[in-house]
Amino acid sequence: MTTDTPARLLQLLSLLQTPREWPGGELAGRLGVSRRTVRRDIDRLRELGYPVQASLGSDGGYRLVAGKAMPPLVLDDEEAVAIAVGLRAGAGHALEGVDEASVRALAKLEQVLPARLRHRVSTLQAATTPLTSGDGASIAPETLTVIASTVAGQERLRFAYRAKDGTESRRLTEPYRLVSTGRRWYLVAYDLDREDWRTFRVDRVEDPFATGARFTPRELPTGSAAEYLRRSIHRRPDAYDYELDVTFEAPTEFVTTRLPTWLGTPVANPTAGTDGEAGCRLRGTTGNPVEWVAMRLATLGCEFSVQGPPELIACVTELGGRLSRAAVGGGGTDGTGGGEGTAGLESASGNGGRGEGGRRAG
């Protein structure tokens, strides 16, 4: 019999989180208490915000249902290990839309994970090898969780950093935000030694260490960490700096859900649509190679037309020709080996009548 009320409530909550209806008598037997005590404990859980639904009948069944807010969950050992392994697998690679939330969740979970379960998680991860696409650099989940914890706790962070040319340095920072570009993670932080704001690629961070020293966050020079990162990348001498101008023959909602946020946000453009539906247009600056941009545009699943920059137009033209030749089995570069089936693909990389110099693809 569980006499400690808080412990009994946690045990009851753990049972209710199993997706089934629990008869009152069965709950009473599991907890070693009377049905009346079960009813009182159910009321306490409701007062704490847990939406427990009761059904009529001889056994008076109970079920935990979805409420308006997300209540705290109780995990058993196996569930905690499974979630930690899953979050670790995703945290090392930037995942559009869920990446930052995954890192925050992983940091919270590993903060309270017992040593014996932490060992099981590490063992499972060491025994598995993820199949990656090679578009971005892998990052140790521990690196992300340490950084995320210092950001949340406003705690100074010390780490070793390896620059693009291989130069290594030690940094003492006030971490501000983690930012994902869809391919890589960046840390926006105030560098105390250089007395200025800096951005750091997290895959180049080694041995991050939370110093324990608290700080009051400084005001960022720009409105958001994402905007500061974008400007920082474009200021680098070796950075790309392209002004995009692309129209899509698809609704704004369709393109927005498929377009990486680091390419910008399209706006409605009624003249670009087809079949009575308004299209949209994307204008913005990108620091990504045009080859990467062209591939992302080509995989959106809709017709599009490139007005600029010239480098992207040339890249789309070359890519369209290469794909056309591949589709008919022609490996040459002289345009021969064509035949039926090439016209549509080759016209996709030609002038689509969407403005002078534009290129239409799809």
Q: Tens digit of pLDDT per residue, the chain (362 long)?
A: 455 678 888 889 888 887 778 898 899 999 999 999 999 999 999 988 888 999 876 656 898 887 777 677 777 787 787 777 777 666 555 444 445 667 777 777 777 778 888 777 777 666 655 545 445 566 777 788 888 889 988 999 999 999 888 899 999 999 999 887 766 788 999 999 999 999 999 989 999 999 989 999 999 988 788 888 877 765 554 445 678 889 998 888 888 888 876 677 788 876 655 565 678 888 877 766 788 888 888 888 888 999 988 888 999 999 888 888 888 765 544 444 444 433 333 333 334 434 344 545 54
Question: Residue 71, Cα to own-chain centre: how many angstroms?
Answer: 23
Q: What is the CATH topology of the domain spanning 5-64? A: Arc Repressor Mutant, subunit A (1.10.10)
pLDDT at position 234: 58
pLDDT at position 155: 93
- Cα separation, 203 vs 140, in Å, equals 8
Residue-wise DSSP of 125-182: HHT------SSS----HHHHHHHHHHHHHTEEEEEEEE-TTS-EEEEEEEEEEEEE-S
pLDDT at position 48: 86
pLDDT at position 133: 47
Burial of 155 from C-beta contacts in 10 A (0-12 / 13-18 / 19+): middle
pLDDT at position 359: 46
- Where does CATH 1.10.10.10 sit in the chain? 5-64
- Cα separation, 76 vs 238, in Å, equals 50
pLDDT at position 356: 41
Question: Residue 289, Cα to own-chain centre: how many angstroms?
Answer: 21
Quickly count helices (H) and strands (E) in the chain: 12, 12
Contacts of 164 (CB under 8 A, 6+ apart): 238
Tokens linked to 28: 């009473």
pLDDT at position 160: 96
Contacts of 128 (CB under 8 A, 6+ apart): 89
Whose CA is closest to 137, among 171, 198, 94, 86? 94
